Amino acid sequence: MENTSGQGSQAAIPAEINKWNWGAFFLSWVWGISHRIYLSLLCFVPIANVVVWILLCVKGSGWAWQNKKWDDF
């Protein structure tokens, strides 16, 4: 499969990428900044933080694939 990482929202996300993201689970805002996912800063907002935290864990790997150029999976 062709490497489509870093191409924004039109980048195709490989099936290997869509998994639970432990980096986003443990270090949500640090992980988000390093992968240019600024939605992760909402982790500092009470009540919204739980929703954002779960969203980052589930969808974060795909978003990181779209936002940053990677060498491989």
Long-range pairs, 14-18, Cβ under 8 A, ≥24: 14/65, 14/73, 16/73, 17/61, 17/62, 17/65, 17/73, 18/61, 18/62
Between residues 64 and 1, the one the model is more confident about: 64
What pLDDT shows up at residue 64? 84
CA distance 64 to 48: 21
What is the per-residue DSSP string for 40-56? GGGGGSTTHHHHHHHHH
6-64, pLDDT tens digit by residue? Answer: 777 777 888 888 888 888 888 888 998 998 888 889 989 999 889 999 999 998 888 88
Count CB-CB contacts under 10 A for residue 62: 16
Output the pTM of the full model.
0.80
What pLDDT shows up at residue 73? 65
What pLDDT shows up at residue 72? 67
